[in-house]
Structure formats: C-alpha cells, structure tokens
Structure 1
C-alpha cells in the first residue's frame, strides 16, 4: 500500500499498525499530493491511503489523479471530524473508503483489506458523518427516504446491499450468502443501477442511512 500524509508522526503510526499484519506492506510513502501521484505510478500499489489535506496538492486532487491514471489503485481517504466539507467531493472523485485518523487501528486494517479486495469501506463513525453531511435536514426523514429506495429492491438485493455497506468484498458476500461470486457481481451491478448511485461507496452510505447494516446478524 501507499501511505500519503504530510505529518511524519501519522505516517509512523500507520506504518506501525500495518506492520502488525503480515498480509499488508507499506511499499511507499508520500508527504504531499504530487509525491503521492508519483509513488502510485511507480509502485502501482493495490491501495493508497491518502490524507484529505496535504501541502502543494491536496489529497482530494491527488486521489482524483491516482484514480484517473492508476485505476487499479483503490484510494482510501484519511479524514478527521473537522473535514466534513470535503466528503461529497471525495465521494465524487471515486474514493473507495473513509477512515478516521483517530479511529481504532483494527478499523484501519479492516478497511485496507476490504478495499484491496474490491469492497467499499466506511468505518461506523465515518459513515455517520458522511450521512449527516450528505443528508442534512431531518435525519428521520432521510432515513425514511433511504428505506423507501431500498424497499424497491428484492430481499436478496437488500441482503447484498447490507453486506456491501458493512465493508465486505464480493467474495466475502458470496461466502456469507452461500452463492457464487459472479452472482454477487451481478447483484451489485443491478443494485447500483436500481438505486441510481455511482459506486459502492455511495451504495454503502445508502445502506447505512436505511439502517440495513445494523440489521446484519453478527456485525
């Protein structure tokens, strides 16, 4: 993975967390957006963990360029509670996940694994902030509207959406529901179309907003 953050202490902390997981490796680091883009092109990592705000070129612009020129690299945005105004733009730029700098280290590892496997990942606290920021107004009304949209899905589609919202990859969803991965891919494609959302992250937000994720046993 690529780690991009202008704060050396943050990079050191993330490196230490990643070092506890033998399946993960930090192959490159960057202290600004330009360095992040260069490192993504040079190392072609599966995942780039990018701070939203960095000098010279901010993380959002860097993420957009990485997604455009190195599409095999999925981008997770590192954020804080004070950066809600950046969320909508990050979603539109194709970010595959959001993690809080102050979050549980286990969430960081889970998020990187999920995104590397092709899933979207929103840590629970980030999901609440995303929903609050994008929704505005009456949260109960927003939840009701989300439920109306998801009620139009079949029972199986709602199950797939809930597991997608929980950060599971297609393979994990297939295992959970005892179906083949190709069928999950077809379900996900149909869900994105029927809900009129652009990507898995937006679908995950809707799943959280509709309360589907909290209804998944064992999560």
Structure 2
C-alpha cells in the first residue's frame, strides 16, 4: 500500500485534481459523459442537487458504493465544503479514477447564476457499471480510513475536519494528544500555533519524514486546501492520525 501511495505522489499535479465552481457547471452542461458525486447527506441531496449527480454521502458509503462509480468516465465531486471534496478526490484517485474535486462548497455552488438551471430534486438512480479495477489493498485502506473516521464522530474532529476556532482552542488548552503539522514551505500569515508546529512541506518525498512523527493526532494545515486534504489521506494511508484544519 505504501509503495502505491508513494508512486501516486511522485507524479502528483495538484491542478489535475481540482476544478473551479464555474468550470464545474460548464463541464456538467457540456459533457454528458461526466459522472457527478454529491457527498452531502441524503436529505440535503434530495432537497436540491445538481442534475445527474448521484448521492454517496461522505463516509463509509463511499467505500460501500465504490463499485457503482464507473472508472471509464470522468468523475466530478462536490460536498458541503471543498476539503471533503478533495479528500474524496484523493481516495478515488488512489483507487484509479480520473477525478476532480470542486474547489468550492455547496453554498457557493448553489449561488451561481449558471447553476440555477441545473438544480433538481429527488434522487438519481445508479446504473450497472463494469466492476472497477481496484486492488484489494486499496479497498481495505479506504475501508479503514472511514472506520477510523467513524471513531471521531460527534467530536471536534468529526469527518476528519477541525474548525479553525476549535484548533485554536486545542492549542490554547495544550491538549497533549494533538500536535500541529504545517505543510507549507512558506507561510505569509502564520496562525498562533505556527511556532509549535512540525514543518513538512507538501510534495513528493514528504513521506520520508513521517517516521519521525509522534503517535498523536496531527492537525494538518496549509495555504492550499487541496494539498492539506491530500496530505491527510496520505498520512492516514501510512497509519498516522491526520486530521484537517479547515481553511
């Protein structure tokens, strides 16, 4: 598993895994072959979603329904926030999908004038697709990712994310089971906990520094939400306790 993750990040191009909100709507209109995943809760999805989007709520459902996602089609993912979209993108990319996460949360997407004609209600049906070519090793890693996420349910680290104000609270209270991890090579506007952070710049080879990380919750932050989201997935696949501070 570790070798697969290392190979993936050796050729990592962050711009290949994100799409702006306006470009997302344009792609949905222009390309009928695109497969859209809405990661929000079922009740929110049914109330309103982008036409043709299938609902796979963020969590164990993504592992359970991954065989319903066609590997032969381009995948676009959106959620309540861009961080969840990017973490799902990282998981699907590691599973061999051609996928991009929308660089915006649902509220921002829904406000777009171009999106309004694309809104619909109810549910979109899944169709039978050829079985995806996903190694058992990757399947188990994704399952473990969500099993460990469920252990944090209803905590300040629910869904592998921490609000900035909660991160500051943890810092000020000197919570001993947590430490901060900055993935920026430079930080123009450092948070209060920057001086107490471990610094591991994002990029190929960053995993070589993981072995020195303590067995604590690693509160990950950086100036690029996509890089921070992918870093959390990378850490989790290597067996570390990565959690993302929302931007």
TM superposition score normalised by structure 2: 0.28
Q: Which has the higher strand share?
A: 2
Q: Which has the higher helix share?
A: 1
TM superposition score normalised by structure 1: 0.30
Higher relative contact order (CA 8 A, sep 6+): 2
Radius of gyration: which is bigger?
Answer: 2
